[in-house]
Amino acid sequence: MAQKTLAGKTVEVTDEGYLVNRKDWTKEIAIEIAKEEGIELTEKHFEVIEYLRKESAAGAQLSIRKVGKSGIVDIKGLYQLFPGGPLKYSSKFAGISKPASCV
Amino acid sequence: MKRIVILGAGTAGTMMANKLRNTLDKEEWNITIVDQFKTHYYQPGFLFIPFGIYNKEDVIKPKADFIPAGVDMIFSAIDRVEGEANKVYLEGGKILNYDYLIVATGTKTYPEETPGLKDKLWYKEIFDFYTVEGAVALQKFFKGWEGGKLVMAITEVPYKCPVAPLEFVFLADAYFTGIGIRDKVDITFVTPMSGAFTKPIATKMLSELLEEKNIKVIPDFYIEHVDNDGKKLVSYDELEIPFDVLTVVPVNMGDALVERSGLGDDMNFVLTDKETLQSKKFENVFVLGDAANIPTSKAGSVAHFASEILFENLMSAMEGRPLKAKFDGHANCYIETGHGKGALIDFNYDTEPLPGTFPLPGIGPFGLLKNTKINHYGKVMFRWIYWHILLKGKELPVEPLMTMAGKKRVN
Ligand SMILES: Cc1cc2nc3c(=O)[nH]c(=O)nc-3n(C[C@H](O)[C@H](O)[C@H](O)COP(=O)(O)OP(=O)(O)OC[C@H]3O[C@@H](n4cnc5c(N)ncnc54)[C@H](O)[C@@H]3O)c2cc1C
């Protein structure tokens, strides 16, 4: 756990740079975290991000398949938006916790 | 007469039938349990079948042996639930009315969800070990195999018993070492997650096991299809992994009855309050075991701990009191690591697996996040505990809610 200043706001982040408190999230913070990963966020990215924030707040278990069924983007498209690890990166930019298994 | 109907006579449903029949007045409450199959499988035993440690006979018993007298057992497929009318429709049209319903229909594997998985190579060079058929077919295959590329791949999350694929590669390492061909077998673990371990402390304490055993991990790999002719996995970002034999955890989803009943999410897991275990759709419907969409592991131990909470809440509901018992997601899972050793994890919704001792602080006998012989015996004993204590709905000397006693906080 560490403190970090993102878009002019000091927030708590995990060792891997995920926000600890989802309430700290702003669009500006998302843009800055994404920049660190070399991704320029577009409207489409934000549609996915808003969907993830909404679903995760409702207690849903997130998966790549679930996002693919959301009607926002298919899985191929999701990979194009967030190359390399779509759920891992989109969750990071959405200010929610890193997708994890039990161990 | 009032009626409780339990859907599914697997681990969770059977446990609940026993607990309820032991407590509720027979004159007042009828208890009915429905399942499509007559055989009860000890699913944790499937892991050992490919390596010849168990055979099919070691993991099966008749379901009826575990259903107590005074519970009506119906063998039939369930078509759907009509929550507004408090009715269950069985296949063939029979209707069951209920005052309370417990959904315990578990999760199933759907290989057909991944293109090319259930194709020419299915049960020839591609196997699962989440069904007894797959596990037995793989045992036969391994007996004649002379080595090559063994790939263990997870298609999607969530899936039941999240540690089972890891245990599989550990046991494969031990098995091929034992028969003297480990140097000819290349073992690769493929996961859509960011690693074989994803929790910081477990990663620190256990990931060296994979290196020690020379098991390669390919993270962030999400399978788009399986190429049967080229014998390779292809991901959505067009990466490829060649295999000679592929063992796979197919996509897990709840039974289609959940969809037909309008009770679930898009993976057909039942929308469930993670604390009270009540369905989010109907007040008199409760959910136990793998069928629930609660954010903890899909495991028998979880169903056991949750059953005590569900039982208390059901009693409260029957007496018109608020549902006070709150489940914390407690899970307790042994991880076989091969060569007669094992690790153990104990965690809940909020606390990741931590090191320490279990169940007695400072004494154990089991070591949390440690690789020990005694943990392996824990797993071996689990089969006996499963048939004789767990299914019968009896209490274990372990509290249902997780405790921090015996655990060490780590930074
Ligand atoms: C390889 C493997 C290893 C595992 N290892 C462990 C371990 O070490 N420790 C641990 O705690 N857990 C382990 N588990 C997980 C454990 O077996 C499950 O979590 C547990 O069995 C879940 O119980 P359940 O009652 O929810 O589902 P199940 O036991 O699967 O029962 C569901 C029942 O519902 C019935 N059903 C479903 N739909 C219908 C329908 N439409 N009509 C009629 N009947 C229906 C099914 O026939 C089935 O009998 C393992 C699982 C596997 C596969």
Give the pLDDT means over successive 10-residue stretches in chain B (411 positions): 98 98 97 98 98 98 98 98 98 97 98 98 98 98 98 97 97 98 98 92 90 96 98 97 98 98 96 97 98 96 97 98 97 96 95 95 94 96 95 91 92 65
Shared domain for B273 and B292, answered yes or no, is yes
> Which one of B291, B318, B345 terminates a domain?
B318
Q: Residue B123's domain is classified under what CATH number?
A: 3.50.50.60
Q: What is the pLDDT of residue A19?
A: 97
Which residue numbers in chain A have pLDDT < 70?
none
B116, part of any domain: yes
Shared domain for B276 and B353, answered yes or no, is no
B168, part of any domain: yes
B57, part of any domain: yes
- Condensed to tens digits (0 to 9), the pLDDT of residues B191-245 reads 999 999 988 899 888 889 999 999 999 999 999 999 999 999 999 999 999 999 9
Shared domain for B153 and B236, answered yes or no, is yes
Residue B238, classified by CB atoms within 10 Å of its CB into exposed (0-12), middle (13-18) or buried (19+), is exposed
Indicate whether this model's pTM tops 0.90: yes
State the average pLDDT for chain A: 94
Shared domain for B129 and B210, answered yes or no, is yes
Q: What is the pLDDT of residue B411?
A: 65
Size of interface A-B (CB pairs under 8 A): 80
Q: B275 to chain A, minimum CA–CA distance in Å?
A: 12
Q: What is the pLDDT of residue B193?
A: 94
Cα B178 to chain centroid distance, Å, stands at 28
Which chain B positions have a beta carbon within 8 Å of A78's beta carbon? 236
Q: What is the pLDDT of residue B394?
A: 92
CB–CB of A103 and B293 under 8 A? no
Cα A36 to chain centroid distance, Å, stands at 13
> Which one of B290, B318, B346 terminates a domain?
B318
Task: Give the strand pairing for B185-190 and B251-254.
Answer: unpaired
On whether any CB of chain B is under 8 Å from the CB of A103, the answer is: yes
Q: What is the pLDDT of residue A101?
A: 86
Separation of alpha carbons B33 and B101, rounded Å = 10
CA B9 to each of CA B54, B252, B347, B395: distance values in angstroms, whole numbers, following the listed order: 23, 19, 26, 19
Q: Domain range for residue B169?
A: 110-251
Shared domain for B56 and B185, answered yes or no, is no
**Paired tokens of B206:** 């256990």
On whether any CB of chain B is under 8 Å from the CB of A77, the answer is: no
B324, part of any domain: no
Strand partners, B339: none
- Closest C-alpha among B145, B65, B159 to residue B114: B159
B398, part of any domain: no
Shared domain for B239 and B260, answered yes or no, is no
Judge whether A81 and A45 are in contact, CB under 8 Å. yes
CB–CB of A102 and B199 under 8 A? yes
> Which residue lies with its CA nearest to atom 17 of ligand 1?
B43
Q: What is the pLDDT of residue B204?
A: 86
Q: What is the pLDDT of residue B84?
A: 98
B403, part of any domain: no
B399, part of any domain: no
* Count of domains observed in chain B: 3
For B400, the 3-state DSSP assignment is coil
Residues of chain B that touch chain A, judged by Cβ-Cβ distance less than 8 Å = 156-158, 162-163, 166, 192-194, 197-200, 202, 206, 219-220, 222, 224, 236-237, 251, 265-267, 269, 274, 293, 295-297, 331, 333, 335, 345, 347, 353
Q: What is the pLDDT of residue A61?
A: 86
How many other CB atoms are there within 10 angstroms of residue B40's CB atom? 23
Which chain A positions have a beta carbon within 8 Å of B333's beta carbon? 102
Shared domain for B122 and B236, answered yes or no, is yes
Q: What is the pLDDT of residue B103?
A: 99
Shared domain for B302 and B356, answered yes or no, is no
Q: What share of chain A is helix, strand, coil (3-state, %, to 5)?
A: 45, 10, 45
Q: What is the pLDDT of residue A51?
A: 97
Write the ipTM: 0.92
Shared domain for B201 and B270, answered yes or no, is no
Shared domain for B239 and B120, answered yes or no, is yes
Q: What is the pLDDT of residue B196?
A: 93
